[in-house]
Structure 1
């Protein structure tokens, strides 16, 4: 007689067969989801295509994600090459885009956003549940595969919403690139201007020292009274104090630039030019700048994609607001029992197949709150986009006026004010040598020439900052909108104001 099979083996085989049927059901649901939604995949550039295009087209610079092992060594070599020679404004921007860790963190945030986008395009995963009661011969096993039919049906709509949100995040990353580039360029000009102002004061101080020494010698011979001696000494002393302040400001500006460039250690010993760039021969045209801003501004583009995603979310909530959960599935119940009677032991087995449905009954909320919330969110985003568009047009007009006006001011200093101050000082020295002019007038003229030269340096600095602001207002990256010269609090403008203070 054939030996009866072990009861555990029989149960195990039945469970495997049922589990195989449930897995086939799960796979079928997944395939349906893939057909409906179309699963997205990770981009080879980690979502940096938009930011890379803006960097290449608007800044003419490269960006690299530090985790990209293929390009990171090349980026480091590029930075080393730029730091070997004196930095230019363009070089400073390129170093910042390659070395600044805050920008790399923004790229990592974009990677998180891309992962969320890819996840949102995946079909809902079916849930497999197995429940067993009893052991041995008397056993009940219940198995079910459940999937969300509502999520499966709305997968295409949710994919489009996720795609628009990710697109908005891509433009936000481009905004971060442009913002860092603009800040690095502005700080470069501030640092070079501080160096230039300090260098001019260093050149002026020896002359004031020589005059102070001469005044002392003349006083000893009786040719110069104590009042005139004190004025010469005070002018020299004040000029030394202003040079000390300028050197402090010079070091502070350099440290700000170092932070933006993301440099440390030996890299922080980079070299800078002695003076600001000359004024350009041609100015940027102000025609069509508003239309260009509407077409290129990264913050406006990000707001548009965000609004599109909210439009999709609003429509989805309207369609699915009444029923928010609708899960369906396949269920199987397997029962095995063993009875012993006069005829011997008998094992009974039964298997029941069925279906399950899970629907949330909207007793208290018929989708009104979800639809109302989505509508208000959409209207708020639409109003913010309209506000941003209005502000962008105004900002680009303001930036152009500052750019054009600062150019005229700088030209006026260079072609009129400074030559006149040079002539006045030269004539004052001639008359002072001929005993036709007292020392007070000579000191006033010398002080006025120093102030004019410092103000000319600041005007040239402010022009280049205004040029950077105009670019930022047109393509994105943050519009400073500060004072007319774009000068930060405690900027080098304090030098010219302090030197202009009469010394008595």
Structure 2
């Protein structure tokens, strides 16, 4: 018995010493996995993430974030970089990444060859207890490599999840910046017309005192001015709320940081910056699809699935064929394969493994089809919104300017009154607000293209309520 015990203990020690030191060194780094997250984020042109591991690093990041925005007009790129630097929800996501790395580390080390025995019964009982402990230790040591492989795949999934949350936060922050700038631009347009309405209201009061303007006409001008005042107050409130949402995503409160956003959004580019092959880009780059592939590998490794039989595409699994009908015409769309490997699971002892794998395969197929749909919708939206915004800019606004110019000529020639001129100004305001809204919608659609190509939830990093 003594010889067997010594041999078994020696075997446990040898197996434990065979731990993969390269893997251990990789996952034991303080910020293990962040390089993959940073590469994905930079490829998506979403900025550079940062991971803070102690209170001093958190305080330093907060100070850096404030220095980038305090008393300054913040661009969209600056807003995104501050969010990636200072958003606490994102830092919590990186903690999950660290925990996944620790799981790999713990698994790769394997069992520690130590055995404690408490003699409370007969010698035979002690022997059986000791043998059971040794068998358990031997099994754990002998299965370190396959278990480490599964843990590594889960770690890769965690890296993709962290990258997805980082990209999603960048997208959400850019959207919040666009909405804030657009809100301030709308408020400025209304304020400009409000000034003219104030002057007209005062003029109506003076004319009323002289008897040149009736009570009904006076009331009409005062009502017009009051309506504009209400619209302006509402626009300014919405602008401040939008600014508060932006501040929250950047990890600051408006009471903590004083910053500004530009008065207006950038003008439209000549063409929308969206690729016609956006569907292919989505299938190649989306982090959720990459994580789904890793899920299949992890399940296959965990349940010892072997003997890959063939590769199906997501369309073969879920659709069989893809047909679009446009204006009554039926046309076959060129298929871009998103490959999903299927393994022979007929020899599995555990039916759970077979069903788990097939469930993951079907979910991945569904996600791939959803990615195709989102990508096409994003492309249609950005091109359509660009066309609409260009129509407002190139057709509607020039016509309104012509109307305003002619109205001013009539006023100067004393053909029309001040109030008729103001009514034209009100119509002109509606046109300018429509053009500004169309421009905002285009830039939001442009931002959504990034989410469609790279994936991730658009609500990442957000919390309920606004920090004021």
Task: Identify the TM-score tier after normalising by the shorter chain.
Answer: 0.7 to 0.9
1:120 Cα offset (Å): 2.5
2:371 is aligned to: 392
Counterpart check, 1:49 vs 2:56:
no
Closer, same or farther in 2 for the Cα pair 1:133/1:260, shift >3 Å?
closer
Closer, same or farther in 2 for the Cα pair 1:49/1:69, shift >3 Å?
farther
Larger Rg: 1
Q: Aligned ranges for residues 180-329 of structure 1 at < 5 Å?
A: 180-264=169-253, 267-315=256-304
What CA deviation, in whole Å up to 9, does each residue of 1:89-109 have, x standing for no partner? Answer: 000000000000000000001
Answer yes or no: is the 8 Å Cα contact 2:286–2:454 preserved in 1.
yes
- TM-score, reference length from structure 1: 0.74
1:414 Cα offset (Å): 1.7
- Give the SS at the match of 1:276: coil
Answer yes or no: is the 8 Å Cα contact 2:386–2:442 preserved in 1.
yes
Counterpart check, 1:101 vs 2:84:
no
Counterpart check, 1:87 vs 2:66:
no
Equivalent-residue separation in structure 1 for 2:126 and 2:304 (angstroms): 39
Which of 134, 149, 171 lines up with 1:146 in the alignment?
134
Closer, same or farther in 2 for the Cα pair 1:116/1:201, shift >3 Å?
same
1:462 is aligned to: 441
Equivalent-residue separation in structure 2 for 1:130 and 1:440 (angstroms): 99
Aligned residues: 412
1:382 Cα offset (Å): 0.6
- TM-score, reference length from structure 2: 0.79
Equivalent-residue separation in structure 1 for 2:142 and 2:271 (angstroms): 59
Answer yes or no: is the 8 Å Cα contact 2:247–2:254 preserved in 1.
no
- Give the SS at the match of 2:117: strand
Give the aligned CA root-mean-square deviation in angstroms.
Answer: 3.2
Answer yes or no: is the 8 Å Cα contact 2:80–2:173 preserved in 1.
yes
Equivalent-residue separation in structure 1 for 2:107 and 2:230 (angstroms): 63
Closer, same or farther in 2 for the Cα pair 1:224/1:139, shift >3 Å?
closer
What CA deviation, in whole Å up to 9, does each residue of 1:134-182 have, x standing for no partner? Answer: 9xxx999946351334444433222222211111111000000000000
Closer, same or farther in 2 for the Cα pair 1:222/1:133, shift >3 Å?
closer
Answer yes or no: is the 8 Å Cα contact 2:47–2:170 preserved in 1.
no
Segments of structure 1 that go 5 or more residues without pairing to the other structure are: 1-17, 319-367, 481-504
Counterpart check, 1:174 vs 2:163:
yes
- Give the SS at the match of 1:268: coil
Answer yes or no: is the 8 Å Cα contact 1:208–1:236 preserved in 2.
yes
Counterpart check, 1:474 vs 2:442:
no
Answer yes or no: is the 8 Å Cα contact 1:194–1:249 preserved in 2.
yes
Higher strand content, 1 or 2 = 1
Which segment is superposed worse, 117-126 or 93-102? 117-126
1:425 Cα offset (Å): 2.5
Answer yes or no: is the 8 Å Cα contact 1:218–1:224 preserved in 2.
yes
- Give the SS at the match of 1:130: coil
- Give the SS at the match of 2:119: strand
Higher relative contact order (CA 8 A, sep 6+): 2
Equivalent-residue separation in structure 1 for 2:305 and 2:6 (angstroms): 30
Segments of structure 2 that go 5 or more residues without pairing to the other structure are: 308-346, 460-468
Answer yes or no: is the 8 Å Cα contact 1:314–1:374 preserved in 2.
yes
Answer yes or no: is the 8 Å Cα contact 1:54–1:174 preserved in 2.
yes
